[in-house]
Structure 1
Amino acid sequence: MDATQSDTFFSMQNDPAEYLTDAAQRMVLYWDAMRQRGNQYLEHMAQLAPHVLQFDYELIMSGKDLPQPVNYGLVKIIPPEGTMVDETRRPFVVIDPRAGHGPGIGGFKADSEIGVALKAGHPCYFIGFLPMPEKGQTIETVMKAEAAFLERVIERHPEAAGRPVLIGNCQAGWAVMMLAATHPHLCGPIISAGAPLSYWAGVRGKNPMRYSGGLLGGSWLTALTSDLGNGLFDGAWLVQNFEGQNPANTLWSKQYNLYSKIDTEVPRYLGFERWWGGHVLLNDEEIQYIVDNLFVGNKLSTAGILSEEGVQIDLRTIRSPIICFCSKGDNITPPQQALGWIPDLYESVEDIVAAGQTIVYAVHEHIGHLGIFVAGSIATKEHQEFAHNIDFIDCLPPGLYEAVIEEVGSDAANPDLINADHISRFEARTPDDIRAMGGNTPEDERCFAAAERLSEVNLGLYRTLWQPFIRALGNDETAEWMRRMHPLRSGYEIFSDRNPLMAPLESAAKTVRENRKPVKTENVFWQWQSVFSDGIEESLDIYRQTIEDLSEKMFFGLYENPITQAMLGLRSSDDPIRPSPGHDPLHLAYVERRMEELRTSMDQGGPREAVIRSIIYIRMPDNAPDERGFAMLNRIQKLYASDITLDELKTLIREQLFMLLLDENRALETIPGLLKGYEDKGPQLLTLVQQVVTAKGALTKPLEKRLASVEKLFVSKKKK
């Protein structure tokens, strides 16, 4: 045996001992982390207002003091030391989902939605909630409370350029959209992140969570769970639904990641678990409203919900720009659910323009559901770009756009007009681009409609036959006992210091850290462990895929049956199951009146209208404005001390676009009239136009031709 073979032999001999020592130490440290997690859970839930905000704040308004009390509150985020905030800029208001967890995930760390808004210089507010709802609290009373909060924010910033920006994460996304539809005058741009706005939408073979309501027989189980909770629904059940979507992560990967990286992973793991385990409660009226109207019923995306006052909640009445951010890697809210409301409400982009809406969407390629609002990479790219360009987005003409965010290249034109390492452009799209992502066939829609009908039947039967009996047995003591026995809640408590068996772990972990001997990753047994872990994860993924395939087959096998559909009252016709809500005659009359007003006012205005109209005309074929043009426009505005406000600029851009769409030739012909009296400034004004339209880079031939035609309009008067 030579020296090399001897070294290899003895290395192999030492591999088992080194690995076993490391494995034993890791096991002790892992269970100590579980003990810390349990203690953290007990400490967190004992707080009066548990949250995971990493920013200091001051309470501005409590929902408990409103005429219809709710468990929500408004706080002002105190900027960290060194962060400069301009109180005259439009404020950001972040609202977290009340989907089982407690509040704060939008400000979970420095690189977060709140963090990037503060770094962009905006004052920031946060709307959070307490674990226990107020008696009689409903979704609509929460909406009214949030409207009152926004009124207070607006009062505190009278000089702000525009209404507050609203960020709604996950379940808060649809809540913000409903708020904006019922209180449009209070809302600025809306960022809906990972929000299920069209819950039936999807494609076969992927993300089958939308089938769960039909497979469980509808929302009767929601009512039963609330009755067993004595009128309260435990959010831990919602969290368990989320975890069930990815058993490989829930049952293995998350815990193995902690075990394999035990020397570095504990702080991050405990930080996340502090939020993930902070379960909250909902009133039975709240959760029933959500399930019946938004999930099983899917009524929001076709204006099928009526408020308590009988007002139709129609997303087309939102007057603020809407930014929908979603991801192909999101198995909770896939892009079809986040964006399906657009083709549900609008047949064409002309309908969107006629409604005066500006809709922007961004689709990430792979980030998961939680990553949409917690990942640092998302915060420093997408959310940062949204924050930096929010005024630009507010001034985008009506239409549908896709936000394309790219890294700034070394050859980028006018880099001084770009705020960060990325640049955003907004490419014009149509509802057909949303449809091309995949969706339901008319036959699929009938299946979901049948599931909704069955839900109504089963809920009615439950309320008639069983609910009185269940409610008679319920009381606060049994409800609290059932909540504590929930697997997710007890899983935290059982590994805390309340369990005497966990007592020796603290001192044992301290000894291990003092004598830590981590194994090298080259160790063959460590490598085998990694292979074993990969095998378990792959097996669980196969199990998940099998269950998902079976669920889909069961759903369509049951609800595609024409006899089932007939028994549930669905007609065998080609009529759409969810017809578009149609156009409001009053709105159509308003549009016609405004069109006539715009036609007659094309020759009214001055140099400002001429410049904006020319810029829009030149860049219209491009259909992809980016931030540099708006930045140049702002720079010119400041240079010439223009007193135009953001709202006035937004209105001006929209009016000039509509004029060009109504009658492009006449809109151009009237430009010289707008310059009457300013002929001597024609070249100077033309230079402004050229600076803005070329801010993105050199013009293409068609755009150069348009610029040349505009140049003639600006100099013609001077030559005479």
Structure 2
Amino acid sequence: MAMDRTTPSGDPVSGLVASAVEYMTDVGQRSVLFLDVLRQRGDQYREHVAQTAPHVLSYAAELIMDGRKLDDPVNYALVRIIPPKGIEIDLKRRPFVVVDPRAGHGPGIGGFKADSEIGVAMKAGHPCYFIGFLPEPMPGQTIERIAWAEALFLEKVIGLHPDADGKPCVIGNCQAGWAVMILASLRPELFGPVIVAGAPLAYWAGVHGKYPMRYSGGLLGGSWLTALAGDLGGGKFDGAWLVQNFENQNPSNTLWTKQYNVFSKVDTEASRYLEFERWWGGHVNLNAEEIQFIVDELFIGNNLAAGRIKMSDGESVDLRNIRSPIVVFCSKGDNITPPQQALDWILDLYADVDEIRAYGQTIVYTVHETVGHLGIFVSGGVAKKEHAEFSSNIDLIDVLPPGLYEATFEAKDAETANADLAPGQWVMRCEARTLDDIRAMGGNSPDDERRFEAAKRVSELNLAAYRKFVQPLIKRMVTPELADWMRNTHPLRVQYEALSSQNPFMTAVKAAAEHIQDQRKPVSSDNPFLAFQESISKQIVHALDSWRGSQEALSEAVFLAVYGSPALQAAVGVDPRSAPSRRQEMSTEYRARLQTRIAELKSRVGEGGLREAAIRALLYAGSARGMVDERSLEALRQIRRNVVGKPVTLAEFKTLAREQFFMLLLDREAALAAIPTLLPDNMNERQAAFAAIRDVLSASAEISGEVASRLSRIAELFGLDGREASEKASNVAPFDPKAKAS
């Protein structure tokens, strides 16, 4: 209820005094309550780091494999997520495996909330597993050793689900994304669809005026500072430095907004703030070798898409070896992994979409307009929309023809046709794209590429100098005790410890907060001093954002000027006149295998039966739309299940669909001309197949234009008159839209 701003005589001055008293009372109470929230945060932090296996999963879990007990031990573990009450799991559905990022924070962010990656996958009936880690790395642990441990974890999951209709769908968040992609290229047979969310894969990519984090390595002189931090840590790298690096990207949020939001809404925001801080403050360590690999090979070296990363046995990491669909989540609002860094690896690997198809790859991406980096895999809104749609349709994505697609989402309403075929609140479409659609998002010029190549060379020189002249001295000076002391006194850790109940002052704060809770007097929403408080807050945010903008502009200008110098480039071996490229050409061996495969498919164009003819005809007609709608894919399950011949497994159906797609791609006219030879003499069977094709095509939109023309040609190939076929097909038991595929 609003407080009367005037006295009985209508004196506005007295009303203003009353407002000031009310506001000051509220501010005093909020200040104490806010300090008590910080005390609770500190106590929560101490309890969290004292645990043997701290995490922020909101689900119960059962340990399946402990990486510490492997022949090459790692601090990773595989757990099975126990479904909460009311969630039914179908053991015949492919399992989901969420791999959490080890980027300074502890594990659990993929299952942080009920509306999370794990939550929406379980709601869709999928068994779920989680790969997390402990705070301390095992001695000698490397990125390669972790990859082979995760391969063993996936083998275990596959073994636990022998009847599942497909290999595991593996989700890699943030830095786990590139780790999953590396493993999928080395062991492609272990993977179903791969989902990478907010994962950097093309580390130099970006546009001028945005995303300055990519300049950090060059501005700091390269990775020698990473090596120094590892040496000061006694062979371990403190993840708190990575967290601080994230915080430095948004000073207005770090220094003001995050705390102010709790202070201004302390009666309602405390629990949400504490929940997030439990993860944000759970810092973990990495071995020095691990972080050095990450910085040298990925962030500064940008060697992943270029195929220049080699395993200890000499095998190169080639992302073109991945055979499962790759789904990429990114956002224009993500200043840590912008769309260019999430997608430009595709430009590095392929000349065009035909080359993507030549490698048999299916790549689906979706670009959010506003959500930030953490929101890609934490936001409930994203989970309910993008993650939920992909979880519900992951089997259908697995049978998409090879190529490049963008996933778009349309809200369902009363006008949505066949809405029963699209569970949830959205209809997902996969629309065909070309590499030009990715280029249109912006990227580096040849001059930029030379700059980053020069920064890479400078980093290599500085690191070599550090290792020769400084590192031996640092290693002799740093004792285990000194390394522990430096970790414990990191500013991010101190801010938690200093305001915990270990501080005697905070005990008094706790008692005062308990007293205030009983006498709480929140300020009225129309209090003029509250409006003034909000105005001051906005000015502080604006000032900090302006400061950030100026610093980012300065850092970009310095990087472009220093590393754009022809003299510096020539000095470090970069030709200032060259147009550097990381593009990998198709190997002679692969080209030979491809030609053999092409010849094989052409020779088999006349082989098969009604099922092959129906799939070929459907692909021919449906490709005229340039997109695939989830309603059409749901209807397509009918052909797979029982409309055309005996049911087939998802893997068999995927192979069948891909072969027919490539036959059409290689020689469409020959593939179509062969259809009549594949059909049975029984006209009822032909009409049933035609009815199934028509129903799939009409599930998402009216059949018209080029699609109608192609369907008419199919009718002729099936020996049916176009109009007569359509009428007869209407009387042939069409699928029930409400029937769910197994």
Specify the TM-score bucket, using the shorter chain as the normaliser.
over 0.9
The answer to whether the Cα contact below 8 Å between 1:93 and 1:167 also exists between their aligned partners in 2 is yes
1-structure distance, mates of 2:698, 2:99:
38
Does residue 1:633 correspond to 2:625, yes or no?
no
- Aligned counterpart for 1:527 among listed residues 531, 548, 555: 531
2-structure distance, mates of 1:200, 1:695:
43
Q: CA shift at 1:7, angstroms? A: 6.8
1-structure distance, mates of 2:631, 2:615:
15
Q: CA shift at 1:588, angstroms? A: 1.1
The answer to whether the Cα contact below 8 Å between 1:401 and 1:427 also exists between their aligned partners in 2 is yes
- Please state whether the residue corresponding to 1:661 is helix, strand or coil: helix
The aligned counterpart of 1:339 is: 343
- Aligned counterpart for 2:176 among listed residues 172, 175, 183: 172
- Please state whether the residue corresponding to 1:302 is helix, strand or coil: coil
2-structure distance, mates of 1:125, 1:681:
43
Cα deviation digits, residues 265-304 of structure 1 (max 9, x gap)? 0110000000000000000100000000000000001111
The aligned counterpart of 1:50 is: 54
The answer to whether the Cα contact below 8 Å between 1:414 and 1:697 also exists between their aligned partners in 2 is no
Q: Match of 2:602, as an amino acid? A: R
| Residues 2 and 561 of structure 1, relative CA distance in 2, 3 Å threshold | closer
Q: Match of 1:643, as an amino acid? A: P
The aligned counterpart of 2:478 is: 474
2-structure distance, mates of 1:153, 1:37:
37
The aligned counterpart of 1:356 is: 360
The answer to whether the Cα contact below 8 Å between 2:305 and 2:582 also exists between their aligned partners in 1 is no
The answer to whether the Cα contact below 8 Å between 1:99 and 1:239 also exists between their aligned partners in 2 is yes
The aligned counterpart of 1:617 is: 620
- Aligned counterpart for 1:465 among listed residues 458, 465, 469: 469
Cα deviation digits, residues 295-316 of structure 1 (max 9, x gap)? 0000001111111111110100
- Aligned counterpart for 2:405 among listed residues 398, 401, 404: 401
2-structure distance, mates of 1:597, 1:123:
38
The aligned counterpart of 1:606 is: 609
The answer to whether the Cα contact below 8 Å between 1:679 and 1:717 also exists between their aligned partners in 2 is no
The answer to whether the Cα contact below 8 Å between 1:83 and 1:119 also exists between their aligned partners in 2 is yes
Q: Match of 2:34, as an amino acid? A: Y
1-structure distance, mates of 2:692, 2:715:
12
Q: CA shift at 1:10, angstroms? A: 4.3
Larger deviation: 584-593 or 470-479? 584-593
2-structure distance, mates of 1:708, 1:677:
20
- Aligned counterpart for 1:286 among listed residues 284, 287, 290: 290
Q: Match of 2:672, as an amino acid? A: L
Larger deviation: 673-682 or 170-179? 673-682
- Aligned counterpart for 1:580 among listed residues 578, 583, 594: 583
1-structure distance, mates of 2:47, 2:98:
25
The answer to whether the Cα contact below 8 Å between 1:617 and 1:660 also exists between their aligned partners in 2 is yes
The aligned counterpart of 2:429 is: 425
The aligned counterpart of 1:374 is: 378
1-structure distance, mates of 2:424, 2:162:
29
The aligned counterpart of 1:514 is: 518
The aligned counterpart of 2:308 is: 304
The answer to whether the Cα contact below 8 Å between 1:55 and 1:77 also exists between their aligned partners in 2 is yes
Q: Where does structure 1 lack aligned partners over 5 or more consecutive residues?
A: none
1-structure distance, mates of 2:595, 2:534:
67
The aligned counterpart of 1:17 is: 21
- Please state whether the residue corresponding to 2:365 is helix, strand or coil: strand
- Please state whether the residue corresponding to 2:719 is helix, strand or coil: helix
- Please state whether the residue corresponding to 1:233 is helix, strand or coil: strand
Q: Match of 2:585, as an amino acid? A: G
2-structure distance, mates of 1:64, 1:678:
62
- Aligned counterpart for 1:589 among listed residues 571, 579, 592: 592
- Please state whether the residue corresponding to 2:196 is helix, strand or coil: strand
Q: Match of 1:310, as an amino acid? A: G
The aligned counterpart of 2:734 is: none
The answer to whether the Cα contact below 8 Å between 1:327 and 1:372 also exists between their aligned partners in 2 is yes
Does residue 1:392 correspond to 2:418, yes or no?
no
Q: Match of 1:668, as an amino acid? A: L
Does residue 1:240 correspond to 2:244, yes or no?
yes
2-structure distance, mates of 1:36, 1:3:
41
The answer to whether the Cα contact below 8 Å between 2:65 and 2:153 also exists between their aligned partners in 1 is yes
2-structure distance, mates of 1:705, 1:393:
27
- Aligned counterpart for 2:253 among listed residues 244, 249, 253: 249
Q: CA shift at 1:619, angstroms? A: 1.1
Q: Match of 1:417, as an amino acid? A: L
Q: Percent identity?
A: 55
The aligned counterpart of 2:63 is: 59
Does residue 1:700 correspond to 2:704, yes or no?
yes
The answer to whether the Cα contact below 8 Å between 1:672 and 1:717 also exists between their aligned partners in 2 is no
Aligned-pair RMSD on alpha carbons?
Answer: 1.5
- Aligned counterpart for 1:504 among listed residues 499, 503, 508: 508
Q: CA shift at 1:99, angstroms? A: 0.2
Q: Match of 1:291, as an amino acid? A: V
Cα deviation digits, residues 601-645 of structure 1 (max 9, x gap)? 111101101111111100112111011111112145445483201
2-structure distance, mates of 1:257, 1:396:
45
1-structure distance, mates of 2:337, 2:390:
20
Q: CA shift at 1:2, angstroms? A: 11
Q: CA shift at 1:507, angstroms? A: 1.2
1-structure distance, mates of 2:294, 2:698:
49
The aligned counterpart of 1:265 is: 269
2-structure distance, mates of 1:656, 1:137:
45
The answer to whether the Cα contact below 8 Å between 1:120 and 1:388 also exists between their aligned partners in 2 is yes
1-structure distance, mates of 2:8, 2:510:
43
The answer to whether the Cα contact below 8 Å between 2:680 and 2:686 also exists between their aligned partners in 1 is no
1-structure distance, mates of 2:328, 2:150:
20
The aligned counterpart of 1:454 is: 458
Does residue 1:569 correspond to 2:565, yes or no?
no
The answer to whether the Cα contact below 8 Å between 1:71 and 1:129 also exists between their aligned partners in 2 is yes
Q: CA shift at 1:557, angstroms? A: 1.0
- Aligned counterpart for 1:413 among listed residues 410, 417, 440: 417
- Please state whether the residue corresponding to 2:363 is helix, strand or coil: strand
The aligned counterpart of 1:109 is: 113
2-structure distance, mates of 1:81, 1:716:
53
The answer to whether the Cα contact below 8 Å between 2:501 and 2:507 also exists between their aligned partners in 1 is yes
Q: Where does structure 2 lack aligned partners over 5 or more consecutive residues?
A: 725-742
